[in-house]
Amino acid sequence: MLPAASALSGAKGNDSKEEISLQRLWGACWTEVLARDGCTAVPLGHCSIGNGPSTEHELRGLGTLKGAGLVGMASGPMSSADSSSLSTLEELSDAFDSALGRHDDSSSLGSDSELNGAAPYRQTDRYGFLGASSAQDGPGQPPVELIRHREARWLEMTSHWEKAMARRYKKVKVLCRKGIPSSMRARCWPLLCGGQASMDRNHGKYKELEQSPGDPQWLETIEKDIHRQFPFHEMFLSPEGHGQRGLMHLLKAYTVYRPREGYCQAQGPVAAVLLMHMPAEQAFWCLVQISERYLPGYYSPEMEAVLLDGEVFVALLRRVCPKAYKHLQKHSVGPLLYVTEWFLCLYSRTLPFPTVLRIWDAFLSEGVKVLFRVGLVLVRLALGSSENLRDCTGVVETLEKLRSIPARLLQEDTFMAEVHNVAVSDRDVERECRTQLAKLRKVRPDFGYRPEQRLPNAKAVFDSQQLEDAQQPGKGRHPAPAFLIPEIVVDPPPSPPKEQRRLERERLKEQRRQEQERRRQEEAAEKQARKKKPPGRKKPDTRGKTFHVAQRPMLSLAQEGGEGEEPGPAKRNSAPYLETYF
């Protein structure tokens, strides 16, 4: 607490409404004075006074100072004239309360559904959104010990990132599915998407792009969209704050870096989420990697990749949730009516912010298949049962159902468990891409998008960058990596002519015939071997028959053999035996 505010709170108890309001006023004024005078003890925008907004930017962004008639007071030291103009503390309190409002909401959504009818709030949640009633951790937050354990594992893994991606990518994927700790996302996201490696190879490039004048047409369009990006986040409240200015410079730099693509409105929310977690230069290179490696063609003027992925989504939906597919086909609800915002903005304007962060953790690790899985789960939750379809009688009702999924079903742990259980793999997405691309090219011969440009996951991005470093080891400020992956070029097999295809069929047919002949010979040999085996001795059948037994007397040894001979082994005829007569 600042000295002025603490002195006020020490004179009387701080339970009264007048004193809290006075603390807010003094905090805002004192912060501005210290910042103007160059005092470093209390940085501007980082003070916390009472229960009011925690930064001067929040007060300006919410219109508090202007709405309360206190702009002059906040821009300089409080004079005696200014103090006398406010006769009572009750007027001060009413002015602040009218500007701040008395709404209290613990939500941290950054989507449009949060912004409708909302009013300025007092506090921020753990993600920086205004409207939290307290510094709560939110439902389902893991214990502190588990968070510390995960942070230690990520620290160890990121310190040996090349080894982890080359040998232990499956472990990286598992940890990303569990969720990257909030304190580690600024370090892990650039490593996963390859933004850190791109920034190292292009040292100083962002500063050059940022200082470029840029196209006035793009600058005007970006300027109009800046205030729409998460207006209830403390970072983007003020038009003159570092959040909106940084976002402006980042998007302008991208238009200079890729002048053909220019600026797409959907890049605003994506860049804003990146800026919430990392500096502008890192956020820029992460945006470049997402636009070129993960989602190439999404933000181009033609947007052919979005059109193709919409058809792929419908084909996957037909297999995963037939009931919802039939309903959408019945009411002619095309995929571009709902998938476009989901995919282009990476769900940052659709779902609760904690769930958005978990989706980004998995997306940067496993690629575009995560976007398809999330969309399939959303459609299944909204339209997957007969009870939900009862009220959907048309296009408007169906789209509203997709936008009004209960928040309890979108809780991060429960929702992400369903996402990871969806049976859609990289191979499924690639197969459907080829199928739908062939259909689109029949209708539109000029369709030029190539899905081969898209890399499936972080491992493919890492391997691609390793190959680039091997081909250009001197580029960038860092030396070549410790180990190099050899260049492997796999050319697709040429399409054989008709004669070659005929010979190939005949060769395969002859191969199958020889295999069948060999099996027949083996079976015949086994049958012949069984025939040659002598049969076992058959016992006589004596059931129901009458037989007589006679005993033959045993002869003496003297009669059987001559004198002087040693008795030999007993023979059968010399031993008593039974004779059987039938």
Stated as kind and residue range, the H or E segment containing 581 is: strand 578-581
Taking 80 as the threshold, does the pLDDT of residue 281 lie above it? Answer: yes
Binned at pLDDT 50, 70 and 90, residue 23 comes out as very low
- Enumerate the H helices of 226-368 as residue ranges: 242-257, 267-275, 280-289, 304-320, 322-330, 339-344, 353-366
| Amino acid 529: pLDDT | 80
Query: Which residues are CB-contacts of 282 (< 8 A; sequence separation ≥ 6)?
Result: 186, 190, 195, 196, 199, 274
Taking the C-alpha atoms of 56, 57, 60 and 65 in order, what is their torsion angle to the nearest 10 degrees? -10
Taking the C-alpha atoms of 202, 207, 212 and 215 in order, what is their torsion angle to the nearest 10 degrees? 70
Structural domains in the chain? 185-295 (1.10.8.270), 304-453 (1.10.472.80)
Measured CA distances, 322 to 3, 154, 199, 334, 343 (Å): 65, 40, 45, 15, 22
**3-state DSSP call for residue 337?**
helix
- Tokens, residue 88: 């009572």
Dihedrals φ, ψ of 423, to 5°?
-85, 70
- The amino acid at residue 135 is A
- The amino acid at residue 453 is Q
| Beta strand segments in 424-554, E | 548-551
d(CA 301, CA 490): 32
Q: Indicate the DSSP class of residue 580.
A: E
Q: What is the CA radius of gyration of the chain?
A: 40
| Amino acid 424: pLDDT | 95
pTM given for the model: 0.64
Mean pLDDT to the nearest integer, 14-25: 35
Taking 50 as the threshold, does the pLDDT of residue 568 lie above it? Answer: yes
- Enumerate the H helices of 86-143 as residue ranges: 89-100, 112-115
Confirm if 254 and 263 have CB atoms less than 8 A apart: yes
Taking 80 as the threshold, does the pLDDT of residue 240 lie above it? Answer: yes
What percent of the chain has pLDDT above 70? 65
Q: What does the pLDDT look like over 413-445, one tens digit per residue?
A: 999 999 999 999 999 999 999 999 999 999 999
Taking 90 as the threshold, does the pLDDT of residue 581 lie above it? Answer: no
Between 309 and 87, the higher pLDDT residue: 309
Mean pLDDT to the nearest integer, 236-251: 92
Mean pLDDT to the nearest integer, 529-547: 66
Q: What does the pLDDT look like over 118-175, one tens digit per residue?
A: 444 458 888 999 875 433 444 567 888 999 999 999 999 999 999 999 999 999 999 9
Binned at pLDDT 50, 70 and 90, residue 552 comes out as low
